Amino acid sequence: MHAAANLSVCVIVAAAVVTAVYTDVRYGRIPDWVSVPLMVLGLALGYHHAGLPGLVRAVHGLVVGLTAFGLLALLGAMGLGDVKLVAGVGAMVGYPHVVAVLLLTAIAGAVEAFIVGVWTNRLGTCARRLLHKLRRSAAMPQKPEPVLVPYGVAIAAGTLWSMVYV
């Protein structure tokens, strides 16, 4: 891709993921008006800057992002806003760069989950439940209500990290 195209993609993606972080943290959701235009624009820019090969890279990026997070959403581990955001990012950065985004997002998500666990004082309960399962002791700690983690933060961190260092 042309250097100007890379800069424009970085600016657009950065603006989208920062907006997604705001809406995810503030309202608990990532709206379609952030992610759907990102998908469409990613496909259009892929074709505009590199013709059919660019469009193919964008489609592959979209499909890889959609598939990876779509499977997690089917398991109940992810919201559809997260799925659509990663699909949009995948369309913008294309394949194979979306693989780096997914790997770095997973690392950022693990760090975010650890921080949320410490912040909400849930790591101790989780450790006690794990020890109980390993030892099969009689008194199992009560399972606490789940803590929702705004995964848009991890997606943004992984995406921006990949654009700076990959």
First to last CA, the chain: 15
Q: How far apart are CA 114 and CA 33, in angstroms?
A: 30
- pLDDT value of position 3: 46
Q: Which structural domain range is residue 80 located in?
A: 3-165
Give the chain's domain count: 1
- The pLDDT tens digits for 85-108 are 999 999 999 999 999 999 999 999
Structure pTM? Answer: 0.87
Burial (CB < 10 A; 0-12, 13-18, 19+), residue 137, is: exposed
